[in-house]
Structure 1
Amino acid sequence: MDTQEILLPVASSLDAVTIGAKHPRADDVKIIGGRGYDLRQPIPIKYQEVRERFLNARQNFWTPNDIPMGEDKLQWNTNQLTEAERWLFKTNISYLTASDNLVPDNVDDAILRHITANEMRQYLRWQIAEESNHLESYLFILESFGLDEQGQGQIFNLYQEIPALTDKLNWNLTFTNNVVNCDAPVGSMIANRCLLEDLLSYYVFEFLFFPLGFSQIFALARQGKLKNTAEQYAYIWRDENLHAINGSWLIKQIIRENPGLWDANLQERARAIVDEAVKLEIAYAHASMPEGGVLGMSVHTYIDFAKFMGDRICENLSIKPLFNTRNHPLPWISEFELSKEKNFFESRVMEYRKGSNLEWE
């Protein structure tokens, strides 16, 4: 008689509802790879911190129309910005708009199919809504300048005209497609590795690409330019900070529950992902600031910030930093943190610990 345990398939939101199915126990629930329970059950809540993040995010919801844009409209239409500043703004908002389309698509197409804890699924669905709100913010900014659809389209379309912008977007899309096109079954080691690499790339998105982009507009605002737009970005940044915190936690929780994933090869792959991202940012810096920068933000400082953030990602993942940076090149960026919220940069970063095992806070 075969006494081998029958392994149930990984729970899926497409599973049919079954009469008489048992209520899951907390011990049954896994962040990924959970089996034998229905994902539509909102309880038990195993990961209370995820539930708290959802409740906090819901309290923080805002709308772009809450922020008056009259001062920026005047500056834009009375040539108070230099040509270099206008170009920086155009490339910046084009990339960020495309990015905030990319992120929710990745959550929906690649990540959610693997998540088997209802509270995390709930948070990620809320994140999708927040990203949609960010898209509305970018659209509202250009509308408030008085630009018609053609004028807006010329700006938004730059991500399809400038290779440095296109390359950044396609880089993240590669990871999304690796998950979507993975032939291995959900819950397998191969599928989980594809998922973890994707999560790492989008953690880079939230923690490196977004803050770098916001910093350019914050630099203009410190010179008295596009301050209304900077306020919009500050609210978006608050949301993205919380997404980054959740992304970091999700990566670590997957590794806690699947320690075999985080082997030496994947740790080296994680460092390579960060290195690739910083190189993409260097190219973007030159494309968005072709004259070497604008008042308050030079290409050199921007690149230093990219390397600084890359090292912080490595430290938070307990892998060896790439650039050995220590001093924050933009200490003034804290001026744009919303005071009511704990900011991601204030979260304690774990010290780098050598070896194949992660140690957790």
Structure 2
Amino acid sequence: MEKAKTLDPRNPNKSTGIFNGKSSGILNWNDIAYPHWYKIYKRLLGNYWQADEVNMSSDVKQFKNLTKPEQDAYLKVIGLLATLDAPQTRTALLLSLYATDPSVQSIMAVIAQQEAVHNESYSYVLSSVVSLDQQNKSFEFGRTDAILLKRNENIVKYYNEFVENPTTENIVKTLTYTTLLEGLFFYSGFAFFYNLARYNKMVGTSTMISYINRDELEHGRFISELFRATLSENPELNNEELIGWVYDQFKESVEHEIEWSNYVLKDIEGIDLDDMEGYIKYRANKMLRLLGLNEIYPEYVENPMKWIRAYADNIDGTKTDFFEQKSRQYVKVNAIDNGFDDL
């Protein structure tokens, strides 16, 4: 597969294909192959926020009062999230290089920018509550911890296969793992921070996470649509072998996510690990439905973690009460001192 040409006036403005199609490179949002993607683009733009405008002053006071398991989990989960979000900026840009539909290129550019903000936010929250040495250890965690390395093994494999061998099939596999990232892998980490917020702990961090969560919901929605559209345009790939592969990746990913959550959340007050396992399976079902596939955990079609609904159960894109509440609390602070003048 060749990279899309930047400009080719011999081709029509409306692309003839998402990948391997023909397009002039000129984007007219009123004449695109998938018109509803303009709404997704606008929703993504509407989610604009900056990490250093979230006030962290209360978190600075509270971090030292967290239990030792809570402190450890806080640092490990931030390490996990950074490990997942850091490659997403590059992956979105790489996908856009091969997309021959300019609307996809533009949407992926916005997603890439938002993923860069997410990664910045992890540095920001850590710089607010721990020393530079502890910050660096947290970011090292993603490449040194055995459980996390095992958990991320397939992400490394399939993302790098796309880089080394850019084919349509490898793009579909990359989209599958991007869907898993956006819709499943983040959620035990999100649950940890939302659980702290339930007890009025580290609310600044949970506010930041809520903005990231809102972005990821939109990313997951678009990537799943891109997956379905790519298979529709390439029916030879829409076969039992590939779909079986997708199901296998979801099952294996769920097992790794359960193992990870049992490891990092085992001593956290307020989180029931059996409920967490059910929630992971529930999220897998939800993302499979978005991909146009069948559920694989029929006993988990409902969310077993009822309390988290106000925080993270918002796949339809409608703002929850939680996001409305946090939006009212989104007060800019001085980027230099993270709001430390309020101490």
Q: Distance in 2 between matches of 1:105 and 1:178?
A: 14
Q: Distance in 2 between matches of 1:326 and 1:317?
A: 16
Paired residue secondary structure (2:36): helix
The alpha carbon displacement at 1:212 in A equals 2.7
**CA pair 69-344 structure 1, distance change in 2 beyond 3 A:** closer
Match of 2:192 in 1: 216
Which of 44, 68, 85 in structure 1 is aligned with 2:70? 85
| Matched-pair contact (CA < 8 Å) for 2:59–2:202 | yes
Match of 1:331 in 2: 306
Match of 1:294 in 2: 268
Q: Distance in 2 between matches of 1:11 and 1:217?
A: 40
Which of 23, 27, 47 in structure 2 is aligned with 1:42? 27
Unaligned runs of 5+ in 1: 1-8, 346-361
Match of 1:101 in 2: 86
1:126 aligns with 2:110: yes
Paired residue secondary structure (1:97): helix
1:116 aligns with 2:100: yes
**CA pair 143-25 structure 1, distance change in 2 beyond 3 A:** closer
Percent of aligned positions that are identical? 20
Report how many aligned residue pairs link the two structures. Answer: 316
Amino acid across the alignment from 1:137: S
State how 1:22-61 maps to structure 2 within 5 Å.
Answer: 22-26=10-14, 28-35=15-22, 37-39=23-25, 41-43=26-28, 44-61=31-48
Which has the higher relative contact order, 1 or 2, with Cα contacts under 8 A spaced 6 or more apart?
2
Q: Distance in 2 between matches of 1:139 and 1:64?
A: 9
Q: Distance in 1 between matches of 2:287 and 2:120?
A: 29
Match of 2:139 in 1: 156
| Matched-pair contact (CA < 8 Å) for 1:10–1:34 | no
Per the normalisation by structure 1, the TM-score is: 0.81
Q: Distance in 1 between matches of 2:178 and 2:205?
A: 24
The alpha carbon displacement at 1:86 in A equals 1.1
**CA pair 338-286 structure 1, distance change in 2 beyond 3 A:** closer
Q: Distance in 2 between matches of 1:71 and 1:224?
A: 10
Alpha-carbon deviations, 1:83-119, whole Å to 9, x = none? 111111111000101111021122233x223311101
User: How large is the Cα RMSD of the aligned pairs?
Assistant: 2.3
Q: Greater Rg, structure 1 or structure 2?
A: 1
The alpha carbon displacement at 1:25 in A equals 4.9
Q: Distance in 1 between matches of 2:139 and 2:235?
A: 42
Q: Distance in 1 between matches of 2:190 and 2:74?
A: 10
| Matched-pair contact (CA < 8 Å) for 2:221–2:290 | no
Alpha-carbon deviations, 1:172-192, whole Å to 9, x = none? 12111121222xxx6xxxx21
Per the normalisation by structure 2, the TM-score is: 0.85
Amino acid across the alignment from 1:169: N
The alpha carbon displacement at 1:157 in A equals 1.5
